[in-house]
């Protein structure tokens, strides 16, 4: 399963602030046809390949703001689990460090947050190599124009972990190297480090 493919599709509509009022003078009136402006609050659902998610992510990160949304998938488990909420900082490909979790858009339109394990080339021909912690294979090469930002915070089960600072970068690298090769032992080590990191660096409400 691909990780952090998020998108938007079905907006959950709830808590209408303004409800359509029926016309007491006409039982035949259909409230659905009553042209009343309605504002509803909700959240963005999960759906792959959503052009809306692409647009919103590009708009928000493009103006220099952070993007917060619910991740979907297990390719970064246990570091980021299905249903965790992540915060993405706008960042250029050239500013990424090895170990960072890069948020980028694939050619097919899917959005992915996978760990950066290699950089090659210079500013003009930079190519990033990424992989999900829980995957054995590398992703297709990532080019600078695909990169939207990096994950700096993970919210899970009532707590959160900040991975945007120097300590976070160091631990990101530790996690990266512990997972190289994908052997059973390395997998155990990676999971252990993840738990330890959450215990030491996690903030719980």
Partner 1 sequence: MELTKCYHKSSSMVARRVADEVILVPIRQNVGDLQSIYTLNEVGARIWELLDNEGTVADMVSAVAKEYEVEQPKAEADLTDFLAQLESIEAIALV
- Interface with partner 1 (CB under 8 A): 6, 8, 11, 13, 17-18, 35-44, 52-53, 55-56, 59-60, 63-70, 85, 87
How near is the Cβ of 40 to partner 1 at its closest, in Å? 5
Q: How far is the CB of 18 from partner 1 (least distance, A)?
A: 6
Q: How far is the CB of 67 from partner 1 (least distance, A)?
A: 5
* Structure tokens given for 173: 């690298």
Is residue 88 within 8 Å of residue 150, measured between CB atoms? yes
CB of 44 to partner 1, least distance (A): 4
DSSP three-state, residue 93 = helix
| Intra-chain end-to-end CA distance of the chain, in Å | 30
CB 101 within 8 A of CB 164: no
CB nearer to partner 1: give 28 or 36: 36
Closest CA to 112 of 92, 154, 140, 78: 140
In the complex with partner 1, which residue's Cβ is closer, 13 or 92? 13
Nearer to partner 1, 38 or 127 (CB): 38
């Amino acid at each position: 399963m691909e990780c952090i493919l998020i998108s938007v599709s079905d907006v959950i509509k709830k808590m209408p602030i303004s409800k359509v009022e029926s016309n007491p003078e006409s039982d035949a009136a259909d409230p659905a046809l009553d042209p009343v402006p309605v504002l509803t609050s909700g959240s963005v659902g999960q759906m792959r390949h959503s052009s809306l998610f692409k647009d919103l992510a590009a708009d928000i990160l493009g103006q220099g703001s952070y993007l917060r949304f619910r991740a979907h998938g297990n390719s970064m488990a246990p570091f980021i689990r299905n249903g965790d909420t992540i915060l993405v900082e706008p960042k250029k490909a050239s500013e990424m460090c090895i170990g960072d979790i890069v948020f980028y858009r694939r050619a097919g339109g899917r959005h992915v947050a996978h760990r950066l394990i290699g950089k090659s080339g210079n500013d003009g021909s930079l190519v990033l190599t990424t992989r999900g912690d829980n995957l054995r294979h590398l992703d297709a090469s990532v080019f600078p124009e695909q990169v939207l930002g990096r994950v700096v915070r993970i919210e899970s089960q009532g707590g959160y972990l900040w991975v945007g600072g120097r300590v976070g970068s160091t631990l990101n690298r530790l996690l990266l190297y512990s997972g190289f090769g994908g052997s059973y032992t390395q997998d155990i080590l990676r999971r252990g480090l993840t738990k330890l990191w959450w215990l030491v660096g996690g903030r719980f409400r």
